A and B are shown apart, each in its own frame.
Chain A
Amino acid sequence: MAEKKIRIDPITRIEGHAEVVIQLNEDDSVREALFKVVEFRGFEKFTEGRPFYEMPQITSRACGICPVAHLLASVKACDQITGVAPPKTAVMLRRLMNMGQIIQSHALNFYHLSGPDLLMGFDSDPAKRNIFGLIDSQPSLAMRGIRLRKFGQEIIEKVAGKKIHPGEWMRPGGAKWPLTQERVDYLQSFLPEALDATTKTLDMWKQMLDGLQEEVEHFGNFPTHYMGLVTPDGGLEHYDGKIRIMDPQGKVAAECVDPTKYADFIGEAVEPWSYMKFPYFKAVGYPDGAYRVGPLPRLNVASYCGTPLADEEFKWFKKLGKNGVVQSTFHYHTARLIEILYCIETVKQLLEDPQILSKHVTSNVQVNNFEGVGVAEAPRGTLIHHYKVDEEGMITYNNMIIATENSNIAYNMAITQVAKKYVKARELQEGMLNRVEAVIRAFDPCLSCATHAIGQMPLDIRLFDASGRLLDRKLR
């Protein structure tokens, strides 16, 4: 007997190429939904034999949205291979560019990608439901998002010389050149506008949430474990610190203080229907050891943010869930906005510290160790690069666990929940399927990262009956 299923291909307004297959029961109700990632490049293999100092440049090409996260995880692994600590100013500059990246990436998701659903409506005209439609219908709102993203991109450019793939600047042991007063002045002059845009967006979002309680209830609202970096005393952290894994009730399940031990905590499973692997928390096993990463889990695992305005919002955020654990994937949007606020405040602090202008930004390095693991928080969550090298510093082993990949089991749980709630197979509407896509957008996946690949095909939804006969077909 043929299986009954609905395909959504591709998921649009996400970064990367994926499709959803919704499996139906005999009575056409939804049985489950699968998130299929269908592209793959193969960084872990083709970097073998290359000099370790090339790794930041090459591996950051995994992703054009969060190249900075790859640069950081990669260069931190390379720092370990050299056994040398970078100067304090280099670390400050790396942190600064990471803040820029998170600002631009979160703004991109909220305004350019998810914004059309949230600000124009899930059922609005698909031909206009995009950033250009938003420019057309709500120009000042769209411009606010465009300018906020621009601020983040310009931080990266001013620090490292280029908005996308600024790998030339990054080097094991530090960075290639220092920051100038002129550039600090420019970024400081942009700060008030960015802060204003963010607080206005947060205020608007809080008002909108009253009308979005159904989405909060049904868009990926379930218990899982959560993972993210925290400072030694449990604060929000994106560059260094320890990996904390929290259980669904809000208790700390594990802490990985030494990042080289990540494989003691995390395993990776493979399924034949997706190029994206399925990491799981080893203490619980596969697939019950599902955990989520990214903005919402970061706020769940942290006990505070560490900047005044963000901490105010953090207190409010914690009340959205039981025991301070917010489990609805829809609140990734909320967490993203609070993180932008945190990042802007942190940018301000970093720029005000005179040491940011020190000319000493690099240590002299050579190969002293044969293995290194670098961990950083990408916009989408915890990112791990693990390298081994030979005596010449040539790569012999590369393993990358990518932010988006970490939440893979939860993606499948989330789309199944949304499909069960909204998809009525006998009277299929475009808006029903757009909601399935929207919960994926809430996670903000980065699939060229996750499979180290990308691509695209037209949307083709086909509805088959139990004998495999085509009942209905929609093209978009």
Chain B
Amino acid sequence: MWFYGCSGCHMSFLDLDERLVDLAKVATLVHSPIVDIKHFPPDVALTLIEGAVANVEQVETLREVRKRTKLLVSLGDCAVTGNVTALRNAWEHGDRAVLERAYADPSNLNAQIPNLVPKLLDYARPLHEIVKIDHYIPGCPPNADQIYYVVGELLAGRQPVMEGRSKYG
């Protein structure tokens, strides 16, 4: 799944290339932006989430996903630390600051802050500030080898060892 990020971690997952075929033999992708089942099902074995939590709906979604999945992984730097998504936290009420700059600036026609859309949180948050996280894969994005290793170990019931395997950025 993705929250506020850039989809780069999902693209890195697709960089598994030929290994996607191997993965399809041992696991079924039941819910993702790249599949059409739009409702998050119950009893999921493993969920990877990319992006920081930055609007009110995502807090609810994350709590619900936590209830329905056995293992929850923070995928990539935005999920793990907030990263680029959290740069706006440098401002007090960063949500107002970014919205005013983008939409209320008088260079726009009909300048106004959209209000018929989900409300931003004051601060963008990493996932573990909202729910318990079982595993972390840092990187912007983590490369396909790292994702393949962690998913493979977790599906096999082993604890992945990240030392020497991953880094931020």
Chain A interface residues toward B at CB < 8 A: 9-10, 12-17, 36-42, 44-47, 58, 61-65, 67, 108, 112-113, 116, 126-127, 129-132, 135-136, 139, 143, 146-147, 149-150, 153, 162-165, 263, 267-275, 277, 280, 286, 399, 434, 448, 453-460, 475-476
Contact = CB atoms under 8 A, between A and B. Distances in A.
Given A163-B12, A164-B12, A13 B112 contact: no
B109 A64 contact: no
Interface of B: 1-12, 14-15, 17-18, 20-21, 24, 28-29, 32-40, 51, 54-55, 57-58, 61, 83-85, 87-88, 90-91, 94, 97-103, 107-112, 114-118, 120, 140-141, 143-144
A41 B88 contact: yes
A113 B3 contact: no
Contact of B109 (A47, A143, A267): A267
A44 B141 contact: no
Contacts of B3: 454-456
Contacts of B6: 61-64, 67, 448, 454
A12 B32 CA distance: 8
B97 A268 contact: no
B99 to A, nearest CB: 7
Given A45-B98, A454-B5, A38 B34 contact: no
B17 A270 contact: no
A457 B7 contact: no
Given A13-B36, A163-B12, A274-B117, 11 more contacts: A10-B38, A12-B34, A13-B34, A45-B91, A63-B7, A64-B10, A146-B18, A263-B107, A270-B103, A455-B55, A457-B38
Contacts of A65: 7-8, 11
B101 A44 contact: yes
17 contacts: A13-B33, A38-B118, A41-B4, A45-B101, A46-B98, A61-B140, A132-B20, A136-B24, A163-B12, A263-B107, A270-B111, A270-B112, A272-B115, A275-B114, A286-B109, A454-B51, A457-B38
A143 B19 CA distance: 11
B108 A64 contact: no
The 3 closest A-B pairs by CB, nearest first: A64-B8, A42-B98, A459-B38
A139 B20 CA distance: 11
A458 B40 contact: yes
A150 B100 CA distance: 40
Contacts of A47: 87
A64 B84 CA distance: 13
A149 B120 contact: no
B117 to A, nearest CB: 5
Contacts of A459: 38-39
A126 B37 contact: yes
A261 to B, nearest CB: 15
B34 A131 contact: yes
A454 B7 contact: yes
B38 A12 contact: yes
A382 B129 CA distance: 38
A12 B20 contact: no
Contact of A476 (B34, B37, B99, B115): B37
A62 B34 CA distance: 19
For B29, B117, B118, the residue with the greatest tally of chain A CB atoms inside 10 Å of its CB is B117
B43 to A, nearest CB: 16
A164 B61 CA distance: 27
Contacts of A13: 33-36
Contacts of A280: 109
Contacts of A132: 20, 24, 28-29, 35
A274 B114 contact: yes
B9 to A, nearest CB: 7
A286 to B, nearest CB: 6
Contacts of A399: 107
A62 B140 CA distance: 12
B120 A268 contact: no
A306 B117 CA distance: 44
A41 B85 contact: yes
Contacts of B28: 132
A268 B109 contact: yes
A272 B55 contact: no
Contacts of B101: 42, 44-45
B58 A455 contact: yes
A112 B14 CA distance: 9
A46 to B, nearest CB: 4
Nearest to A48: B101
Nearest to A126: B36
A127 B38 contact: no
A149 B14 contact: yes
Contacts of A136: 24
A199 to B, nearest CB: 21
B38 A458 contact: yes
For B5, B11, B61, B85, the residue with the greatest tally of chain A CB atoms inside 10 Å of its CB is B11
